[in-house]
Amino acid sequence: MAARTKKLIKKASSSSTKTKTKRVTSKSKATPKRPTSSKVSPPANAAHANQGEKEKSKKKVGLSLNWNRAIHINTTINDALLREMTPVILQMKQESSEPITVGIDSPGGSIDAVGSLIGLLQAPDQDGRRAPIYTVSTNRAYSAAATLLAFGEYSVAFPHSQILYHDMRYSGIDDVTPSKALRTARELERRNADLALKLAHQIRQRLIWVYLDLQSDFSDVRERYSGFSKEFDDAFKEVLDRKQAHVVDVVAFSLALFRKLTSPVDNEIAIQPLRLLKTWVQIERIGQRLPKEIANGKKSVDFVQGIDDLVTEIRNMDAGNDQSAKTPGPEPHTGLDENDRKDIKLLIQVLARRFATDKNLNILDDGLDIITEDFSFIKDINSDQHIYAITNLMIEHGHIFFGRPIYEKLKKTKDDQERYKILSPVYPQARMLWHYMVLICRCLCRGEHFLTPGDAQLLGLVDEVIGGGPVESRREWRKASPDYD
């Protein structure tokens, strides 16, 4: 593991444990502890005392919709709606910190207006109290309205409702020129990637819940899709150690989702992230292989160094340093800096893989766009911004990555070195799972996806389908659990 990654994991794990994180209840239905029987009968009033203590130990089910404390969004989401809703929301938050229900029947609107509306709903009052926000798709949740639905702390869909996700779009662009079209396309791609990352942070706990619910299907889907399983197990074997005691099975998870999703188009959302992860792993392997071959003396060409030398020579030529030494002029320019060298090395790896796997690739057609897309994807997946999310994922859901005993030990550690020692062995698994979730969100932000409420629940966009969905919701599980009243 790179030294910078190691340093960032330590920093992230330290800050994560200092901040009190919200506990996510595991779905494993362990047998509740029962009071130890006594041979001596207790006093008559002790039974009432024990019953009182038992009642106190129970936890409220919660997560129930309250339509008497609700706002309804049944039009396009824009600045006018935001102005109309602002005093209503502020008054409700001032009256109480009880949950606010947001009913949604909207064709969409401005993603910026949605961002402001979410910020307003989630903001604390002057005393730091926040009212939980429960979002509900009552009929339609299209486009920006689907984003609002997903960003509820608890999200619910009526069984007849329709949910539409699609990529960012601009309308009404005048005087389109090639340069303006290119800038617009790049801006849309950047905003799609930003939204996908925010969405992944929001839905990761829901997807963990779905993972736990589908875990019993993993053996079956591995057997049913054995060829597919072997292909990706082989592709990921250098990253994921399936011999570990607690293995986070991303391959089986994707297959379980694939089998459950109902739309022939949308079930590809479960598989496409695996293909993208396979590309990432292959390019990582290419990057690791070339330096080994140079070190072993099998190759003597360093492509990056060659480009570095060429850049230095061109810069010196432009500066006039090919003239006589007596001629005054600027100091000789150096070549590439460290970030440039990393980018060029990555670009070479992307080029090599694309030309090796696609014999019909044509740079003059769409080949350059494909290569640029690959480069941007790999550069993003390797960026430091993901390390904190991965570390938090391990800490919040340690029972999945380590098992209960080590998870309890992790919670008690206070030394960064000891914490890193526990976290580092399963970091590759957490990293793979996190990126899989991010890539699901990226797929949702590409093209058009009309989702049934059940499919939206499987993809982590809603917590519950009223009347029952393909996954047992947290509220339904709480009602059935003896630990909750």
Taking only the tens of pLDDT, the chain with its 485 residues reads: 566 666 666 566 666 555 444 444 445 443 333 333 333 333 444 444 455 454 545 567 789 999 999 999 999 999 999 999 999 999 999 999 999 999 999 999 999 999 999 999 999 988 889 999 999 999 999 999 999 999 999 999 999 999 999 876 665 556 667 676 667 667 777 887 888 899 999 999 999 999 999 999 999 999 999 999 999 999 998 887 767 667 789 999 999 999 999 977 778 899 999 999 999 998 888 877 665 555 555 555 577 777 878 888 887 776 665 544 444 444 444 678 888 888 888 898 888 888 888 888 888 778 888 888 888 888 888 888 888 888 888 888 888 888 777 877 777 787 778 878 888 888 888 999 999 999 999 999 888 899 999 999 999 999 999 999 999 999 999 988 877 76
Q: Does residue 248 fall inside a structural domain?
A: yes
Whether 294 is in a domain gets the answer no
286-295: long-range contacts, CB 8 A cutoff, minimum separation 24: 286/349, 286/352, 286/353, 287/345, 287/346, 287/349
Integer Cα distance of 249 and 238 in angstroms: 14
List, in sequence order, every residue forming a beta bridge with 163; answer none if it has no partner. Answer: 141, 451
Same domain, 230 and 364: no
pLDDT of residue 334: 62
pLDDT value at residue 10: 59
Question: Domain range holding 254?
Answer: 189-264+384-446
On whether the CB atoms of residues 470 and 457 are closer than 8 A, the answer is yes
Check whether residue 305 and residue 336 sit in a common domain.
yes
* Residue 292 included in any domain: no
Instruction: Report the b/e string of 51-87 with b at 16+ CB within 10 A.
Output: eeeeeeeeeebebebeeeeebebeebbeeebbeebee
Contact in structure between 31 and 455 (CB atoms under 8 Å): no
Q: Are residues 222 and 352 in the same domain?
A: no
Could you tell me if 147 and 66 lie in one domain?
yes
- Whether residue 148 lies inside any domain: the answer is yes
Dihedral over Cα of 223, 228, 233, 236: its sign: negative
Considering the domain architecture, whether residues 345 and 208 belong to the same structural domain is answered as no
Asked, for residue 146, whether it belongs to a domain, the answer is yes
Has residue 117 been placed in a domain? yes
Q: Which residue reads 């009968």 in tokens?
A: 41
Last residue of a domain, one of 362, 379, 396: 379
Can you say whether the dihedral through the CA atoms of 414, 417, 418, 424 is positive or negative?
positive
Predicted local distance difference test score (pLDDT) of residue 286:
82
- Does a structural domain hold residue 53? no
Q: Which amino acid is at 376?
A: S
pLDDT at 359: 84
Q: What is the pLDDT of residue 357?
A: 87
Say yes or no: 367 and 395 in one domain. Answer: no
On whether both 198 and 252 belong to a single domain, the answer is yes
pLDDT at residue 330 in the model: 45
The enclosing domain of 157 has a CATH number of: 3.90.226.10
pLDDT at 247: 79
**Res 342: pLDDT:** 87
Residues 257 and 388 in one domain: yes
- CA torsion sign, 388 to 389 to 393 to 396? positive
Burial category of 321 from C-beta neighbours within 10 Å (exposed 0-12, middle 13-18, buried 19 and up)? middle
Looking at the fold, whether 375 and 404 belong to one and the same domain comes out as no
C-alpha torsion angle, residues 265, 267, 270, 273 (rounded to 10): -20
Q: Quote the distance between the C-alpha of residue 445 and its chain's center.
A: 13
Are 145 and 130 members of one domain?
Answer: yes
pTM (global) more than 0.85: no
Q: How many domains does the chain have?
A: 3
Q: Mark whether 362 and 456 lie in a shared domain.
A: no
25 in any annotated domain: no
pLDDT of residue 421: 83
**Is 421 found in the same domain as 389?**
yes
Per-residue pLDDT, 455 = 96
